[in-house]
Amino acid sequence: MTKTAFIFPGQGSQFPGMGKDLYDSVPAAKEIFRQADQALGFSLTDLIFTGAAADLQKTYNAQPAILTVSIALLTAKNVLPDLAAGHSLGEYSALVCAGALDFREAVSLVRFRGECMERAVPDGAGGMAAVLGLADEIIEQVLAKSAGVEIANYNCPGQTVISGASTALQKICAELTAAGAKRVMPLAVSGPFHSSMMQAAAGEYKQRLDAARIGEPKIPVVANVTADYAPNAAIIKDLLYRQVFSPVRWTQSVRKMATDGVNVFTEIGPGNVLTNLVKKIIPAN
């Protein structure tokens, strides 16, 4: 028996021109772009298709852009999966897929979420790094010995992202290399996302989130914070608030879905980052 999960990517999967073929060929997808422009009060469509790559990479632009392209692709598919999940920002796409969140509400939310995240930490004060080839348990042990750096993403076995204050991050990167990491790479991001340094962003975001219209999901959605199902609107809002400063438990989320019978994972969005991660988490896929 086939059980399908739609999985939605997060920030970093954006690229100029993404979704243009879909826009040109699928009227329902084109309508999604129109709704995004209307909800935001400017042409996100023009930014995606003809804007500068540097502008698209800005957190407050990248987040609504990826969401829009993901939902345009979802609309073109016109089918509901058995489950849904998304990586960080992608959780909003999953909630739209599940009918818990209206797309126009979602695109407005993630635009504001991105603005809050950009404002939370001064430029250069924090950052992120990918740690390759080192077990999570060892990373956790190294981080426990000093303050200022936390795990941000459990992406797959052997690929973990850490986040925190810049000075502490440099020190920890050297320690993780000494502990046996194959590679530790600083990431080109504008802040220390999914760390406690984002609590100010979460606090600013919370009032807007609390006012958002969120309903009951029609299909199960696995949340990043718990790697478990988010059953109702109140819990969903709390998890989205906590997600801003908590780690993305993607490895655990994929394993949860597989344990519950999912045997087909379909990535809906620009790129194939999550597809590759799933193959490493569950080698049979």
Which residue among 13, 194, 246, 253 is the active-site one? 194
Look up the CATH number of the domain holding residue 168.
3.30.70.250
**Known active-site residue 88:** yes
Enter the pTM of the model.
0.96
Is 161 among the domain residues? yes
Domain boundary among 186, 212, 234: 186
Q: Tell me whether strands 83-86 and 159-165 are parallel, antiparallel or unpaired.
A: unpaired
The count of domains in the chain is: 2
Assess whether 256 and 203 both reside in one domain: yes
Q: How far apart are CA 129 and CA 124, in angstroms?
A: 14
Q: Which residue range is the domain that position 182 belongs to?
A: 126-186
CATH number at residue 115: 3.40.366.10
**Are residues 200 and 74 both part of a single domain?**
yes
Length of the chain (residues): 285
Any domain includes 20: yes
87 in active site: no
Residues 79 and 208 in one domain: yes
Tens digits of pLDDT across the chain (285 residues): 899 999 999 998 999 999 999 999 999 999 999 999 999 999 999 999 999 999 999 999 999 999 999 999 999 988 899 999 999 999 999 999 999 999 999 999 999 999 999 999 988 899 999 999 999 999 999 999 888 999 999 999 999 999 999 999 999 999 999 999 999 999 988 889 999 999 999 999 999 999 999 999 999 999 999 999 998 999 999 999 999 999 999 999 999 999 999 999 999 999 999 999 999 999 875
Does some domain include residue 191?
A: no
Q: 13, 88, 163, 253: which one is catalytic?
A: 88
